[in-house]
Amino acid sequence: MKNGLVLSLLLTSLLCGFTFAQDTGLQIPSEQPICRLYGLIQTFGTVAAVLVAAYSGFQLSSSNDIEERNKAKKILSGVILGLVIIWIAPMVVKELVGATNICGW
């Protein structure tokens, strides 16, 4: 029962991540394959981050051992840092290059 619930939650979060990625409305030109690659990396990175954050949150809330809680905190902070890097990178590149529009961002 517990494994089925965990599996259904993971599947739901995965589908929500894909839905969110499709709803962003970015129109990526076909002549820029690097933009499509970055879009895939961003989508899969976000979905993986949500799954890992859910796991570390569960570990943080259910563990009684201080070492395991500290490990879960480190994982969660790494997930947040990774998400910030993934989602801020296009804006940083746009500012560094001085372009008005890169990959629809």
Radius of gyration of the chain, Cα coordinates, nearest whole angstrom: 17
- How high is the pLDDT of residue 44? 92
pLDDT at 11 over 90: no
In one letter, which amino acid is 47?
A: V
List the helix and strand counts (H, then E) for the chain: 3, 0
- How high is the pLDDT of residue 40? 87
- The structure's pTM equals 0.65
- How high is the pLDDT of residue 1? 46
In one letter, which amino acid is 79?
A: V
For 38-68, the pLDDT digits (tens) are 888 889 999 999 999 999 999 999 989 999 9
Q: What angle do CA 4, 76, 66 make, to 5 degrees?
A: 90
